[in-house]
Amino acid sequence: MNCDVPNQKLWSAVLVCLLLTHQAMPKYKSNQSQSEPTEKHTMKSTTAKITKKSGYANVNGLKMYYEIEGNGDPIIFIPAAFQSAGMHSFPLLTHNHSVITVDLQGHGRTADIPDRPLSIEQYAKDVVGLMKAIGISKADVLGESYGANTAVLMAIRYPEVVKRVAAYSATFGPPQVAFNVEMTHYDQPPTADSSNIQYQRENYRKVAPQPDYWPTIWAKLGGLHWEGISKEGLASIKVPVLLMCGDHDFVRVDHIAEAAKLIPNAELALIRSASHFALSSEQERVIPIVKQFLEKPSKELPLATAEVGYYPGKTR
């Protein structure tokens, strides 16, 4: 079967293909009624010890797992489909930030709620609930693939808890609008046992409360319906947003660029010779861009124009 232009019935399978990639600080409250005992480790550093912490919090009916690595201002990391805490580490960020990685419903160590559908909207609500449970009032948010969709939606629905958003390979519309058909083509739709999702399947089974639940969560995620975000919704975003993608991404470059034009305070970064998986496979090319975006001053020097000219310390 040729799936270059997926119809509505094939949306679920193509979506899964698209989405697959792969110190707790004193201000975080320790609430044993919500969070279970955690494990702490340290990692040698030339400047400071990098603290690691993990735990569970009761959030919207979930026993939601999270890990915290690093020191400093918080960054919430929302991984891609079937990815989970422990699969990523961002050393460039953890020296100045506490990176809180979440396991969404049915991902990693967070068990599914069988009768509750999966949705980007619910993910956003759950992440905000986790922030409240562990005492984070406001944070930067980094998202990958549909984790990036969740991060951008948080900026629209919960702006009071979001400082900035960095989104890698987000989609803002249905598949026929968002997909790069050259990169999302397959002759046969993937199944729970397909070889091209072996990485996700094996990592899920390593940590999931019920490893044999894999076929069920695979099918359930395939039924997730995402139509995207309206132009009005994108235009309403008030926080700074960084949109990133690879030039050979599953998402069309012009789709990302159009969204960047609609978001008032957005930046666009295109990673050359990169796929949908660059945040996992080549983070050394992506995370420095994220770091610069998150750490730059809130007020920057004005850009130099041909008329104004360049003056060191006055324009850039």
Does some domain include residue 166? Answer: yes
Does some domain include residue 309? Answer: no
Does some domain include residue 312? Answer: no
Does some domain include residue 3? Answer: no
Q: What percent of the chain is predicted at pLDDT more than 70?
A: 85
pLDDT at position 178: 86
Rounded-to-integer distance, Cα 183 and Cα 187, Å: 12
Measure the CA angle with vertex 99, ends 140 and 82; round to 5°: 95
Nearest 5°: phi and psi at 179? -80, 145
pLDDT at position 189: 83
pLDDT-based confidence at 311, cuts 50/70/90? confident
Q: What is the mean pLDDT of residues 301-307?
A: 88
**What is the per-residue pLDDT across 24-80, written as a single tens digit (0 to 9) for each?**
333 444 343 344 444 443 334 345 678 899 999 999 999 999 999 998 999 999 999
Does some domain include residue 307? Answer: no
Q: What is the mean pLDDT of residues 139-167?
A: 97
pLDDT at position 25: 37
Q: What is the mean pLDDT of residues 143-149?
A: 96
pLDDT at position 74: 98
pLDDT-based confidence at 90, cuts 50/70/90? very high
Q: 139-144 and 97-102 as β-strands: parallel, antiparallel, unpaired?
A: unpaired
Does some domain include residue 303? Answer: no
**What is the per-residue pLDDT across 92-106, written as a single tens digit (0 to 9) for each?**
999 999 999 999 999
pLDDT at position 50: 83
How many domains does the chain contain in total?
A: 1
**What is the per-residue pLDDT across 228-275, written as a single tens digit (0 to 9) for each?**
999 999 999 999 999 999 999 999 999 999 999 999 999 999 999 999
CATH number, position 92: 3.40.50.1820
Tell me the whole-structure pTM to 2 decimals.
0.83
Does some domain include residue 259? Answer: yes
pLDDT: which is higher, 146 or 182: 146
pLDDT at position 48: 60
> Starting from the edge strand earliest in sequence, which strands make up the sheet with 62-70, in order?
41-43, 50-59, 62-70, 97-102, 73-78, 139-144, 162-168, 241-246, 266-271
Domain that holds residue 44: 8-295
Does some domain include residue 112? Answer: yes
Q: What percent of the chain is predicted at pLDDT more than 90?
A: 66
